[in-house]
Structure 1
Amino acid sequence: MIELRDIHKSFGTNHVLRGVNLSVAKGESLVIIGGSGTGKSIALKCILGLVKPDSGQISVGGSDVNTGDRDTFLARFGMLFQGGALFDSLPVWQNVGFRLLRGALKRPHDEARAIAVEKLRRVGLKPDVADKFPAELSGGMQKRVGLARAICADPDIIFFDEPTTGLDPIMAGVINELIREIVVEMGATAMTITHDMTSVRAIADKVAMLHNGIIQWTGPVTDLDNSGDPYLDQFIHGRADGPIEAVR
């Protein structure tokens, strides 16, 4: 479904991606791990076309991301943002149904609201939440609203950017379970960025570690603890000593 071939991206003298090769099969849940500033978010932005690589090729569904209609291309994606990224001035249901109220996916007002309420139900929120504003919700509820928005248009591909950031361990577990259930239920292809190893083990089919601008290791989540890769081993166990130099 998604393939990156020899992707390079630099910002001045900062060489972020130095030849990334990565493939994600249809219906697969891939989690990208790696230290802060290693280019995980840049890789996602390159796939979406928000950042243009300096060289290399990216294809989605077998087609180059730079060809075809832009709106049609983006309609295939859903996104759960790290900080929720809800619109404070809009009620919850309009946040969830944002894409259904405008653009290529526009639906009648009442239909968009009904779909939004159904997606809220799917993530465990009652209909009365629909008319509240984000500021009236807890952090966990806001994250659920963000997840409902990500799946509202039934996308083929969903990106999750640090989905459990700012949540307590119990709520993080709830969100991880919801993500796994929804991805399997929808048959969607998923790419997740996270530092939370509990999330990795809960939602990943495959794991890729991005380090020093390349994919250092990739494999099934079941091989994490027996990879034989010193970089991966240091990262997943949070050790200060190892081939990855900690910034002190």
Structure 2
Amino acid sequence: MIELSGVHKAFGANKVLQGVDLTIPRGESMVIIGGSGTGKSVLLKCILGLVQPDSGTITLDGTDVSRHDRDAFLARFGMLFQGAALFDSLKVWENVAFRLMRGALKRPRAEARAIAVEKLRRVGLGPQVADLFPGELSGGMQKRVGLARAIAADPQIIFFDEPTTGLDPIMSGVINDLIHEIVTEMGATAMTITHDMSSVRAIATRVAMLHGGVVRWTGPVAEMDATPDPYVQQFIHGRAEGPIPSVR
């Protein structure tokens, strides 16, 4: 569904992506792993069109992403941001329904609220939460609201940016399970960027290892532990010794 071929991106002398080749099949949950500063977020932004690659191609259903109608293109995506990224001045339901009250997806306010309440229910939050403000919620509840917003418009593709950052191990497990259930239930194509191996094992059907500006290894999550690739082995086991320098 999404294909990247020879994607390069540099910021001045800092060469972040140096020829990324990656295919994300329709209906699969692809998790991109790699250390901090390896270009995972830049890769995601390139796919969304927020950053323009210096060279290479990125296609969605065979069409170059730069040639899509912008609004129609973005309407196919949902996004769970790192840290939830909720609007403090909006009520919870207004956050969830944000895109449903604007642009091509605009719905009547009452209908948008009803959809928001249903999506909140799907992530385990009752209707009493709808009229609260984000500041009145715990970190775990805010992350659930962010997930509800990501699926509010029933997107075909969902991106998850470090979905468990800042959460305790129990809440991280809850969010991972929710993501797995929702992606499977919706039949969506998913791309997650993370360095949390518990998220990888809970969410992924396929895994790609990004290091040195290229995808070093990609394959089914079931084959990840057995691959002899030294970069993957060092990363998934958190070893100080190996080809990935401990000081970067």
TM range (shorter): over 0.9
Deviation at 1:69, TM superposition (A): 1.1
Question: Are positions 1:95 and 2:84 aligned together?
Answer: no
CA displacement 1:64-121 (0-9 Å, x = unmatched):
1011310000000000000110000000000000000111100000000000000000
Q: Secondary structure at the match of 1:19?
A: strand
Deviation at 1:210, TM superposition (A): 0.2
For residues 102 and 5 of structure 2, the distance between their equivalents in structure 1, rounded to whole angstroms, comes to 34
Long gaps (5+) in structure 2: none
Question: Are positions 1:105 and 2:120 aligned together?
Answer: no
Deviation at 1:62, TM superposition (A): 1.6
Partner of 2:16: 16
For residues 179 and 74 of structure 2, the distance between their equivalents in structure 1, rounded to whole angstroms, comes to 21
Alignment of 1:34-113 (within 5 A): 34-113=34-113
CA displacement 1:133-184 (0-9 Å, x = unmatched):
0000000000000000000000000000000011111110000000000000
For residues 68 and 20 of structure 2, the distance between their equivalents in structure 1, rounded to whole angstroms, comes to 24
Partner of 1:229: 229
Partner of 1:154: 154
For residues 66 and 130 of structure 1, the distance between their equivalents in structure 2, rounded to whole angstroms, comes to 37
Q: Secondary structure at the match of 2:5?
A: strand
Could you list the runs of 4 or more consecutive aligned residues of structure 1 that deviate by over 2 angstroms after TM superposition? Answer: none
Partner of 2:141: 141
Letter paired with 1:12? G
TM, length-normalised to structure 2: 0.99
Partner of 1:129: 129
% same residue = 76
For residues 119 and 170 of structure 2, the distance between their equivalents in structure 1, rounded to whole angstroms, comes to 22
CA displacement 1:19-71 (0-9 Å, x = unmatched):
00000001000000001000000000000000000000000122110113100
Letter paired with 1:146? G
For residues 8 and 56 of structure 1, the distance between their equivalents in structure 2, rounded to whole angstroms, comes to 6
Partner of 1:25: 25
Deviation at 1:224, TM superposition (A): 1.2
Partner of 2:3: 3
For residues 72 and 177 of structure 2, the distance between their equivalents in structure 1, rounded to whole angstroms, comes to 30
Question: Are positions 1:120 and 2:137 aligned together?
Answer: no
CA displacement 1:191-222 (0-9 Å, x = unmatched):
00111101100010000000000001101100
TM, length-normalised to structure 1: 0.99
For residues 68 and 77 of structure 1, the distance between their equivalents in structure 2, rounded to whole angstroms, comes to 13
Letter paired with 2:178? L
Partner of 1:178: 178
For residues 140 and 193 of structure 1, the distance between their equivalents in structure 2, rounded to whole angstroms, comes to 19
Letter paired with 2:243? P
For residues 25 and 64 of structure 1, the distance between their equivalents in structure 2, rounded to whole angstroms, comes to 16
Partner of 1:168: 168
Partner of 2:245: 245
